[in-house]
Amino acid sequence: MKSKVVALILSIFLGELGIDRFYLGYIGTGILKLITCGGFGIWWLIDLIMIATGKLKPKDGSEYAE
């Protein structure tokens, strides 16, 4: 289980490098996000909102650990 708090912190500070996606298990999109610098900032903001609202969950389908 992945922690939502850790995912949010990674997204806030390292989200433009795709580290949040790597943490959640999305390696392919993490690499793409790294190459595009977080989709020029837009993808980073969308991921931050999606993690905060629970729409972006770990790739293995599990819920976030509280």
Say what the alpha-carbon torsion angle 20, 30, 52, 2 is, to the nearest 10 degrees.
Answer: -50
- Domain-embedded: residue 66: no
Assigned domain for 61 exists: no
Whether residue 60 is contained in a domain is answered as no
Question: Domain residues for 38?
Answer: 4-53
End-to-end CA distance of the chain: 9
Check residue 38 and give its pLDDT: 87
User: What is the Cα Rg of the chain in Å?
Assistant: 10
> For residue 62, is it within any domain?
no
11 in a domain, yes or no? yes
What pLDDT does residue 15 have? 94
Is the pLDDT at 66 greater than 90, yes or no?
no
Rounded to 5°, angle at Cα 48 from 59 and 66: 60
User: What one-character DSSP code corresponds to residue 64?
Assistant: P
5-55 pLDDT per residue, tens: 999 999 999 999 999 999 999 999 999 999 999 888 899 999 999 999 999
Total domain count, the chain: 1
